Amino acid sequence: MRYLIPIITLIPALATASPIGKAKISSNLPAKDGHALELITDGKLDTYYQTKGKTKPGDWIQLSFPEALPTGKNLRVHTGISGSEDFFNGAVLEASSDGNSWKKIAVERAALIDSKIPANTTHLRLLATEANGHHIAVREIEFTDAASPVLIQKGTATLEGKTFQLSLATNLEGNEDLKPRFDEMAALYFDLWPQLVSILGSPLDDTYVDVDIHYRASMKYPAYADKSYIVISADHLRKNKADTIGVFVHELTHVIQHYPNYKPHWFIEGVADYTRYKLNPVEDNWKKRHRANIDLNKPLGAYWSSAAFLLYLEETYKKEIVKPVSIEVRNGTYTDDIWKKITGKELKQLTEEYKNSGWKIQS
């Protein structure tokens, strides 16, 4: 079950009479030179406040007003700079009538916050809820009636008798033509999530359910994932429309993995291509090309080379391979000993056996 929260387009600059311009702005985060706090209320989307260092939960930006803001008006907060990761990816907007007692009124999704102003609001606070390994930028805080560039599709998934509320969001500002690609990803998300959780053995109480998709104009690779967000090359999507679902499955796998570190690299990336091969419902060129090109000499080479190795182990030993290993990686307890526990053979034995197997995927 799913439903769409419509939202889209660019935002005009603030009128100078806006009460936002009367705010006294403060923060516990020092500003980077040339990107002062005051720039978040200058009515321009091409200027921005930027923090000097990394952010942590509890960091804040506060706006205090001489009188209550107009009730019911739509407030929008633009975070992040186009082509960069400097959005919060974990922030809430809070309102207060006295600057002491705060109420959460909205959550950042896809580098944007939208909220109606509650009655008697004289203070607003942007509060970080997640640690970030980079600085943060806020482009503008404004009142606007313009449609939002953010699309959020919501739905549910049932797993182990429990129902989970899921959502997939994206910000289409400057990339409105990619809406059909987002729609493709959103159409599969609610079916993919429980399958990935089951394959990886991810804990139901500690797996991201709300995922954001961001775009960069171009990158050296099609996409990457970090925490609960995926960044995709807009150029890649435009030139390779048929690759949309495959890229999404691979990166969503990383979101669900949520491992404490990137080791063993070969397994982590191998699993992402393993799920791409198994869960993409489309028999695309990627599948055909990789099925016909298996390098038996690189079982620990990551990506498809390791995905094929995992498929071989499943077929040969008739046991779950990915799930028990994934659980150990997630728990931070992985060692190569796990392979002998599962198959009765050391990892080195398995790789040598694979190299000499002549194995192929049967079409």
Dist CA 133 CA 43 (whole Å): 28
pLDDT for the residue numbered 346: 98
Burial label, 277 (beta-carbon count in 10 A; 0-12, 13-18, 19+): buried
The domain defined by 15-143 folds into Jelly Rolls (2.60.120)
34, pLDDT greater than 60: yes
Model pLDDT for residues 106-149, shown as the tens digit of each residue: 999 999 999 999 999 999 999 999 998 888 999 999 999 999 99
Query: In this predicted structure, which of 10-24, 48-62, 264-278 has the lowest mean pLDDT?
Result: 10-24
Percentage, residues of the chain above pLDDT 70: 94
User: What does the pLDDT average to over 296-308?
Assistant: 98
Q: 230-248 in b/e burial notation, b at 16+ Cβ within 10 A?
A: bbbbbebbeeeeebbbbbb
Q: How confident is the model at residue 363 (pLDDT cuts 50, 70, 90)?
A: low
Q: How confident is the model at residue 335 (pLDDT cuts 50, 70, 90)?
A: very high
- Answer for the pair 24, 63: CB distance below 8 angstroms, yes or no: yes
Q: How confident is the model at residue 8 (pLDDT cuts 50, 70, 90)?
A: very low
Q: What phi and psi, each to the nearest 5 degrees, are found at residue 78?
A: -100, 115
- Answer for the pair 358, 312: CB distance below 8 angstroms, yes or no: no
Q: How confident is the model at residue 13 (pLDDT cuts 50, 70, 90)?
A: very low
Contacts from 143-147 at CB under 8 Å and sequence distance 24+? Answer: 143/14, 143/18, 143/19, 143/20, 143/70, 143/73, 143/74, 143/75, 143/76, 144/11, 144/12, 144/14, 144/74, 144/76, 145/74, 146/9, 146/10, 146/11, 146/12, 147/6, 147/7, 147/8, 147/9
Residue whose C-alpha is closest to residue 169's, from 84, 241, 112, 221: 112
**Which residues have a Cβ under 8 Å from the Cβ of 200 and sit 6 or more positions away?**
253, 256, 257, 271, 322, 323, 326, 327, 330
Q: Which two three-digit tokens encode residue 338?
A: 């796990």
Residue whose C-alpha is closest to residue 67's, from 104, 119, 16, 127: 119
- Assess if CATH 1.10.390.10 describes domain 152-355: yes
**Total residues belonging to the chain:** 363
pLDDT for the residue numbered 160: 95
**CATH 1.10.390.10: which residues of the chain?**
152-355
User: What does the pLDDT average to over 310-324?
Assistant: 98
pLDDT for the residue numbered 219: 92
pLDDT for the residue numbered 19: 86
Alpha-carbon Rg of the chain, whole angstroms? 23
User: What does the pLDDT average to over 327-349?
Assistant: 98
**CATH 2.60.120.260: which residues of the chain?**
15-143
Model pLDDT for residues 176-231, shown as the tens digit of each residue: 999 999 999 999 999 999 999 999 999 999 999 999 999 999 899 999 999 999 99
The 3-class secondary structure across the chain, one letter per residue, is: CEEEECCCCCCCCCCCCCHHHHCEEEECCCECCCCCHHHHHCCCCCCCEEECCCECCCCEEEEECCCCCCCCCEEEEEECCCCCCCCCCCEEEEEECCCCCCEEEEECECCEEEEECCCCCCEEEEEECCCECCCCEEEEEEECCCCCCEEEEEEEEEECCEEEEEEEEEECCCCHHHHHHHHHHHHHHHHHHHHHHHHHCCCCCCCCCEEEEEEECCCCCCEEEECCEEEEEHHHHHHCHHHHHHHHHHHHHHHHHCCCCCCCHHHHHHHHHHHHHHHCCCCCHHHHHHHCCCCCCCCCCCHHHHHHHHHHHHHHHCCCCHHHHHHHHHHCCCCCHHHHHHHCCCHHHHHHHHHCCCCCCCC
Q: How confident is the model at residue 83 (pLDDT cuts 50, 70, 90)?
A: low
Dist CA 101 CA 344 (whole Å): 60
In angstroms, the first-to-last Cα distance of the chain is: 33
Average pLDDT value for the chain: 93
Model pLDDT for residues 267-295, shown as the tens digit of each residue: 999 999 999 999 999 999 999 999 999 99
74, pLDDT greater than 70: yes
Q: What phi and psi, each to the nearest 5 degrees, are found at residue 324?
A: -65, -35
pLDDT for the residue numbered 132: 86
